[in-house]
Structure 1
Amino acid sequence: MLVFLDTAERQLDIPRHSTVEGEVCGVVKDIEYKNDKVYLYLKNVNFISDELKDFKEIKSSSFLCRKLGAVCSFDADYDKISDCGVNIGSTVKIRGKINVYNKASNPGEFDMRRFYISKGYLFSAYSCELLSGDSHKNIIADTSYRISARIGGLIDRSLNPKDAGMMKAILLADKTDLDKETKDLYKDAGAGHLLAISGLHISMFAAITLFFLKKTPLSFKASYIITVFILFLYGYLIGFSASALRATVMFAILCIGKMFNKSYDSLNSMAVALLVTIMIKPLYVLQNGFLMSYLAIISIAVVLPIFAVIGKKAKGVISTLSISTSVTMTTLPVVVNSYYKIPLYAPLINIVLVPGMTVLLMLGISCICLRAIIESSIFINICKLLFAGSLISPDLYIFLLSGKFNIFAIGIHLFLEIYEWLMKTELTLPKAVITTGARGIARCLIYEFILLLSAFIIRKIKLSLWRKDKLINNRIRQSPAYNPTKEIRSIRKKRVLLFAGSTAVLVLNIAAFLIYWRKDKIEFLDVGQGLCVCIQYKGNVYCYDGGSTDRKNIDEYVLSPYFAYYGIDSVDAWFISHEDADHTSGIKGLLNGNITIKEIIVPKVLKDNFSSITALAEDTGTKVIYSSTGDVFTSNDGITFTVLSPDEDFPPDDSNACSLVVLMRTKEEKVLFMGDADTRAEEKVLSFMRGPIDILQVAHHGSANNTNSEYFLCTLKPRISIISCGFDNQYGHPHKETLEALEKTGTYIYLTDKEASAFFWFVH
């Protein structure tokens, strides 16, 4: 599997491409309506237009790329799709703006390319127009799609929008209508698994189905066969996620074993499920949900027994807590590397939430069935016949049963409200969510190895003690005069030592894994047409600018994930060159978020231009410092920031010229941040210093308009020059003249639009 992952990563390491308009054809695999758009998911994709030759080469470059499809989006009012009678299985011809999904270009950023590839898609098309489409239909897939849509409609008409979004996520794996606030709440509380169709849902659904079938005259074999058949139908209906496929295969093996009176081994069943998954859906191995699902089974099979070292099998609440804790411990590396934080009280909250899911699923199924019956023409005609001439209108009776007075809908609402209240209460507890940062693959593997090895050794010792205990009991039965007091004390002492030792090993393993050492470095983030620099030095964090004009909400999608990735929850000082959006848009969002910014330093000459940021800073308790040429900011960590420009007499109407130019110094390095400064600022810089310097942030995204003069660059002689600009930006940055001037200095030129974010270690 590791070989497959490595091969997949190398085959899919595709550079950025320009968006090209052209024609593409393919077979419709799925249809989706979300975010006011219509999405067609295509397989067997062929690029028709000559303009798309680069994408043809990508598709033919490897076996994996040849298997990947495209996602095409249409405006919501685009009714030609339905006019053409397009179904799942139809072959369509589409014209749109084509590109490949971008991979994550910053630490912590969501990897869009990896996400869609794991689902079987590499190419995206937007602003699409349907040119042609046949009426061919994949009967099984199209029927499944329409049944799912029908059930979703029944849920929508039975529940309020928020509850409906929740139940569609829980029952149909459809998160389209699930609001972000609810998803974040469940994720932060450690209950995010309840919103995905996981093994938990499949096992509960199977248990419910089997319970009712056993109440019928059917034989137990027939009940098992029908249950497995229903599970596979349900799995197909919801798209067989990695965890759903694993749980269905394992349950099928369990049923086969029971029918033939054979014992069941969870690890062997898991191995079979893993083989089936890799054969049917090999790209699932790229999903974190895949790892979570299989690690959860390993935890129950291998780690859970160590919680019974006292000698008795746990029952009731203790059993549930043991399962929850073992799963949490085993999946910890995946959780940390997925969310960069851990919900401390997740094992406790799941004691309440998980058992309630069985009732919630039954209420959901009952609500759907009731609504389907009420909407049937037979039921409506019966109502009209029974209530004809009575005071109660048949339509009113139907409304009472199907609307707000539907007892199942009321039950669902109450359950979800209680769940939400419990999770919000949990998050008010001290250290409810701990930001951990990500961990390397090596540390994750070491952690899992120690955990599983400890579990294996503890299990062996426990089995040995159990055998001794059994031997003593047999000797007592054979010889009533035998006095085993000394042996019993010895066994009890060993059990106590085993309990204490195993607890210490587990706690130390977790502590060693969670301890985080942040390495000193400077990182130029890829924010598109904008600039953001983050410096991590001896435990302190400093930033320079943080905005973009072509990437929206970078505070949410770039900066916050970046800080979470490194376990950063506060910034000591944030220097802002000037107020333009491509330098400040993300900072404004962060001031309203969970990151604490202690100080913001802005140019004094542009004081009046920072009113919006100043107001936000005052609301959050952030100190604002107005700076000008000659100001020096020092820290006890040995790093200094010297402001080289602008002077207070610079013209405030030219914000680029008034950019805050900062020289950062450590014992070994000199780094110069120029913002969007022009030649006047260059003169100020050269009046303070000469080269060489280690790193230069090239001014104004590499522009050659009244900045980045050849004399200035050759005088500074930077070893490394960083140009932060957007891919295919409208300004043509970086300009050819700037690149030529930089080349004359012999510097290494790094472009964020071509090579993503750049980081450099500090030398001590």
Structure 2
Amino acid sequence: MKRPLCLIAGGFVLGETAVLLALTSWLFLPALIAAGMIFCGCRRGRTPLWVFLPLIFFYLGAARADAETEKWRERDKILDQISSCYTEAQGRISSIEEDEGEAQLVLKHNRLRIFRFGKWEAVPYEASGLLVSLKKENGPSWEQLGIGQTVTVRGEIQLFSQARNPGEFDFKNYYQSQGLDCRLSAEEIQVTDPSKSPLLEYLRGLKMRSKELLYRDASKEDAGIFAAAVLGDKMGISSQIKDLYQRNGIAHLLAISGLHMSLIGLSFYKLVRKAGAGFWEAGLVSTGLLILYGMLTGASPSVIRAGIMMSAGFYAACLGRTYDLLSAASMALLFQGFYSPYLIMQGGVQLSFGAVFAIGGAAPYLSSWLGKEGLSARSFSACFAVQMIILPVTAFHFYQMPPYGLVLNLLVIPLMGGVLSSGLGVIVFGTLSPVLGTAAAGTGHYILSLYEILLNAAGGLPGNNLILGRPGLVVLAAYAVFLTGSMVIIGLLKKKADKWLIPYWGKLFFLMGIYLLSIVIFLPRPVKGLEAWFLDVGQGDGILLRTEDVCILVDGGSSSKKSLGEYTLAPCLKSLGISVIDYAFVSHGDLDHLSGVKYLLENNEDIRIGNLFLPYHGRDDESIQSLDALAGKRGTSVRYITGGDYMRIGALSITCLYPGKEETPADTNGESQVLKMDYENCHILFTGDMGETEEQRLLGKKEGNYLGEVNVLKIAHHGSKYSSSEPFLDAVSPHWSVISYGQGNSYGHPHKEVLNRLSKRNVTVFQTGESGAVRLVTDGSRIGFSTFVDGNRKAGYNER
């Protein structure tokens, strides 16, 4: 009865995934997968009942996901209506997190009212969960707040932001998977029912006291890692350590995962058994302690998954039955998928279950082929299987991979038990004496120091972090075929073991060859034709162009997104598989055109800028000089360009039309480079923040004769009425235009006057503030547009 549960869970999750990926119009594809599972079951001699159950659960999963999706759609409609309204919410506190003068409360079972037209109105739905941000001065003493209390909070409802550019993190989907509707910035809070949950409050107090002991008896850096690994609190981990672990593929050690739960759960079980308890008593006590520990650490999906699996293992021991890892994992997946279908779309959940299925399915298969019963063979098989299974998940969600992660995990995972034991020892012995607590921290300190040495050494190796980009369906399908074929070949080699005696080291080399080939499958491919992304950078400009294997960036800054480079520009580049920007142009020295470029030069080690082109007339601006200095430190070539400068990159030519050396711009906006890019019959004009005066000057120059062939116009100055004058639009006469601006900006961009001028000339207008990033693709004759948020607006060059 092992595999039927895997088939049932697989069918149920496939059904959920089909709906969540909006594939309901062609459900036959997941149905074919389910049919394949049924066929395999028939071949293995399963009874008809177990063979057809996956198909039944496939449609049950689809129905469950469809119902959940419809529920969120209805909630989204209501939330759109009440967002930015002054709102009152009454709910029960289910969790409290405190950090740097602010508390994050999660309220459940909420009832909402909004203040409109001078009176309070009830909102006709019960919000499942609210994330409440509360500053210390806006409410009662935090010591008075506790889990289980019913409170009334008032403030402004804010919707979770969704991804508006390639590679951006989608907060809306993430929080929906956690059952949270929206955020409320609390201006006032009142305790309606002061009664607290004794158990949950005790666990919260225990967590806070344990954290205090860790920071008292261990160094600050070690304590941050101990708190993450033992208590699930990652707030104390420095950004340098977090980045170091992520870049080398061992960031899973910084979170409570199945590894941690297994070590702690088995320790509980063995201690209770040694105390003289029987199987049932030990299983029940260990399960109870495991549940309490999961609640203490925040009950993340990986913790819940591990808790369910461990409980199944204890129950199997009580019954005297064999524990099957795949069946236990399938049961956990079934439960979690039913509770929240959106969970299965999260990268962390996919990595967690992918690792378990790899260890339970592929690892024993590989270990039996290697023919070694020692720890090294089993460890290598497990690490190799996990890396192969999670590689597409890593590429899809994180866009990069450390190729040395396989070796590093082999070295660091066996030592993680020492780190956990050390952290727990600090808490246990620290309650007795600070001296004992400090002594307990010693083992963990030396292991973490060794980790840091290994990670820094790996970081110095060539190709230590490969940017792969987000793979498409074709690449994922190719990888699935490759992986299946590799397993078939290994199966054939196992059968021919008597004829073909392959030494152990030869088998290892064969597996490493498979590993390297799998990475090659995910390497980014050259772009056919020309692709341009007009990114939604908020109030600013950022345009990314790619042709063949060349990448060009025109501006990259924002005055409304302070961390544009870290959270928008760098993830976008990585998701597209870009590690080198060959040519970067900064039109002028305003922050909303260069802040992201500055971040890449100053703080990002993964993406390099080869050549930086700065405005000639801005060479005395402090911001431009700062970019010049940063570029020099990174080995980036810098050139100041002016009107008449020209370059050719394959079929793409770039010409700077304005301003010339003899021009005298009146202000910083007037210094804007005006660039014309030509790719056969596609002609794009980038105008920076040029104003009407500069437009008139450009029209009076001989270069203005080439404006009439422009068919795509990047509207100047975010749609300001002081740009895009009627004479200029008449001279350019574009088919399409793109306006880059921030939603709800204080400048009123884009101005109605500009939109009216464009409408009068039948120009198709794309607005990043409405549609998110705008994508242009062309083969040199046809031009197509699509938008990131809705993805439906398209226009073809030959159709005009």
Q: Shared fold (TM-score greater than 0.5)? A: yes
Separation in structure 2 between the aligned mates of residue 409 and residue 356 of structure 1, nearest angstrom: 14
1:650 corresponding residue in structure 2: 663
Shift of the 657–496 alpha-carbon distance from structure 1 to 2, 3 Å rule, reads closer
Larger deviation, residues 275-284 vs 160-169? 275-284
Matched, 1:400 2:420: no
Residue of 626, 634, 645 corresponding to 2:648: 634
Asked if 1 retains the 8 angstrom alpha-carbon contact of 2:138 and 2:187, the reply is no
Query: What is the DSSP-based 3-state SS (H/G/I as helix, E as strand, rest coil) of the residue aligned with 2:757?
Result: helix
Q: Which amino acid aligns with 1:616?
A: L
Query: What is the DSSP-based 3-state SS (H/G/I as helix, E as strand, rest coil) of the residue aligned with 1:209?
Result: helix
Query: What is the DSSP-based 3-state SS (H/G/I as helix, E as strand, rest coil) of the residue aligned with 2:670?
Result: coil
Asked if 2 retains the 8 angstrom alpha-carbon contact of 1:451 and 1:506, the reply is no
Residue of 215, 224, 228 corresponding to 1:169: 228
1:276-675 → structure 2 map (5 Å cutoff)? 276-308=335-367, 310=369, 312-372=371-431, 374=432, 398-402=433-437, 406-448=438-480, 450-452=482-484, 454-455=486-487, 457=488, 461=492, 488=498, 490=499, 492=501, 508-514=517-523, 516-519=525-528, 520-592=530-602, 593-594=604-605, 595-609=607-621, 610-635=624-649, 637-675=650-688
The size of the alignment, in residue pairs, is 705
Q: Which amino acid aligns with 1:293?
A: S
Asked if 1 retains the 8 angstrom alpha-carbon contact of 2:669 and 2:691, the reply is yes
Compute the displacement of 1:95 (Å): 2.1
2:749 corresponding residue in structure 1: 733
Compute the displacement of 1:206 (Å): 1.9
Compute the displacement of 1:306 (Å): 4.1
Separation in structure 1 between the aligned mates of residue 458 and residue 117 of structure 2, nearest angstrom: 52
Compute the displacement of 1:436 (Å): 1.2
Q: Which amino acid aligns with 1:607?
A: R
Percent of matched pairs sharing the same residue: 29
1:223 corresponding residue in structure 2: 282
Separation in structure 2 between the aligned mates of residue 401 and residue 644 of structure 1, nearest angstrom: 72
1:112 corresponding residue in structure 2: 171
Larger deviation, residues 236-245 vs 500-509? 500-509
Shift of the 287–663 alpha-carbon distance from structure 1 to 2, 3 Å rule, reads same
Asked if 2 retains the 8 angstrom alpha-carbon contact of 1:166 and 1:195, the reply is yes
Asked if 2 retains the 8 angstrom alpha-carbon contact of 1:692 and 1:719, the reply is no
Query: What is the DSSP-based 3-state SS (H/G/I as helix, E as strand, rest coil) of the residue aligned with 2:620?
Result: helix
Query: What is the DSSP-based 3-state SS (H/G/I as helix, E as strand, rest coil) of the residue aligned with 2:418?
Result: helix
Q: Show CA shifts across 1:374-428 (max 9, x none).
A: 2xxxxxxxxxxxxxxxxxxxxxxx55344xxx21022222222222122111211
Query: What is the DSSP-based 3-state SS (H/G/I as helix, E as strand, rest coil) of the residue aligned with 2:557?
Result: strand
Query: What is the DSSP-based 3-state SS (H/G/I as helix, E as strand, rest coil) of the residue aligned with 1:103?
Result: coil
Query: What is the DSSP-based 3-state SS (H/G/I as helix, E as strand, rest coil) of the residue aligned with 2:671?
Result: coil
Compute the displacement of 1:207 (Å): 2.4
Q: Show CA shifts across 1:40-65 (max 9, x none).
A: 11223333124599x999985xxxxx
1:679 corresponding residue in structure 2: 692
Compute the displacement of 1:573 (Å): 1.5
Asked if 2 retains the 8 angstrom alpha-carbon contact of 1:44 and 1:67, the reply is yes
Query: What is the DSSP-based 3-state SS (H/G/I as helix, E as strand, rest coil) of the residue aligned with 2:95?
Result: strand
Q: Which amino acid aligns with 1:720?
A: W
Q: Show CA shifts across 1:299-344 (max 9, x none).
A: 1222223434646244222321221111011100111122211111
Compute the displacement of 1:132 (Å): 4.7
1:745 corresponding residue in structure 2: 761
Compute the displacement of 1:505 (Å): 6.2
Shift of the 498–575 alpha-carbon distance from structure 1 to 2, 3 Å rule, reads closer
Shift of the 182–58 alpha-carbon distance from structure 1 to 2, 3 Å rule, reads farther
Q: Structure 1: any 5+ residue segments left out of the alignment?
A: 61-65, 375-397, 467-487
Separation in structure 2 between the aligned mates of residue 690 and residue 400 of structure 1, nearest angstrom: 77
1:91 corresponding residue in structure 2: 150
- Return the TM-score normalized by structure 2: 0.82
Query: What is the DSSP-based 3-state SS (H/G/I as helix, E as strand, rest coil) of the residue aligned with 1:654?
Result: coil
Shift of the 57–554 alpha-carbon distance from structure 1 to 2, 3 Å rule, reads farther
Compute the displacement of 1:510 (Å): 4.5
Shift of the 248–127 alpha-carbon distance from structure 1 to 2, 3 Å rule, reads closer
Matched, 1:693 2:710: yes
Shift of the 499–700 alpha-carbon distance from structure 1 to 2, 3 Å rule, reads closer
Query: What is the DSSP-based 3-state SS (H/G/I as helix, E as strand, rest coil) of the residue aligned with 2:663?
Result: coil
Compute the displacement of 1:638 (Å): 1.8
Asked if 2 retains the 8 angstrom alpha-carbon contact of 1:525 and 1:531, the reply is yes
Query: What is the DSSP-based 3-state SS (H/G/I as helix, E as strand, rest coil) of the residue aligned with 1:121?
Result: coil
Asked if 2 retains the 8 angstrom alpha-carbon contact of 1:302 and 1:452, the reply is no
Separation in structure 1 between the aligned mates of residue 161 and residue 634 of structure 2, nearest angstrom: 35
Separation in structure 1 between the aligned mates of residue 739 and residue 751 of structure 2, nearest angstrom: 11
Matched, 1:759 2:775: yes
2:264 corresponding residue in structure 1: 205
Matched, 1:722 2:757: no
Separation in structure 2 between the aligned mates of residue 453 and residue 268 of structure 1, nearest angstrom: 25
Query: What is the DSSP-based 3-state SS (H/G/I as helix, E as strand, rest coil) of the residue aligned with 1:124?
Result: strand
Separation in structure 2 between the aligned mates of residue 664 and residue 27 of structure 1, nearest angstrom: 58
Compute the displacement of 1:216 (Å): 2.0
Shift of the 500–619 alpha-carbon distance from structure 1 to 2, 3 Å rule, reads closer
Separation in structure 1 between the aligned mates of residue 512 and residue 444 of structure 2, nearest angstrom: 40
Query: What is the DSSP-based 3-state SS (H/G/I as helix, E as strand, rest coil) of the residue aligned with 1:319?
Result: helix
Larger deviation, residues 73-82 vs 187-196? 73-82
Shift of the 179–506 alpha-carbon distance from structure 1 to 2, 3 Å rule, reads closer
Shift of the 577–508 alpha-carbon distance from structure 1 to 2, 3 Å rule, reads closer
Separation in structure 1 between the aligned mates of residue 230 and residue 384 of structure 2, nearest angstrom: 26
Separation in structure 2 between the aligned mates of residue 41 and residue 270 of structure 1, nearest angstrom: 29
Asked if 2 retains the 8 angstrom alpha-carbon contact of 1:309 and 1:499, the reply is no
1:261-276 → structure 2 map (5 Å cutoff)? 261-276=320-335
Separation in structure 1 between the aligned mates of residue 500 and residue 549 of structure 2, nearest angstrom: 48
Residue of 43, 46, 54 corresponding to 2:111: 46
Shift of the 4–249 alpha-carbon distance from structure 1 to 2, 3 Å rule, reads farther
Separation in structure 2 between the aligned mates of residue 79 and residue 260 of structure 1, nearest angstrom: 52
Larger deviation, residues 358-367 vs 661-670? 358-367
Separation in structure 2 between the aligned mates of residue 558 and residue 550 of structure 1, nearest angstrom: 12
- Return the TM-score normalized by structure 1: 0.86
Separation in structure 1 between the aligned mates of residue 510 and residue 633 of structure 2, nearest angstrom: 50
Asked if 2 retains the 8 angstrom alpha-carbon contact of 1:120 and 1:283, the reply is no
Q: Show CA shifts across 1:572-624 (max 9, x none).
A: 21121110111111111111232222222222222211222222222222222
Residue of 135, 143, 148 corresponding to 2:194: 135
Q: CA RMSD in A?
A: 2.9
Separation in structure 1 between the aligned mates of residue 434 and residue 385 of structure 2, nearest angstrom: 47
1:477 corresponding residue in structure 2: none
> Quick check: which has more Rg, 1 or 2?
1
Larger deviation, residues 712-721 vs 10-19? 10-19
Q: Show CA shifts across 1:518-569 (max 9, x none).
A: 4530001111000010101111111111111110021111111111112212
Q: Show CA shifts across 1:445-490 (max 9, x none).
A: 55245425643x4575467568xxxxxxxxxxxxxxxxxxxxx4x3
Shift of the 554–650 alpha-carbon distance from structure 1 to 2, 3 Å rule, reads same
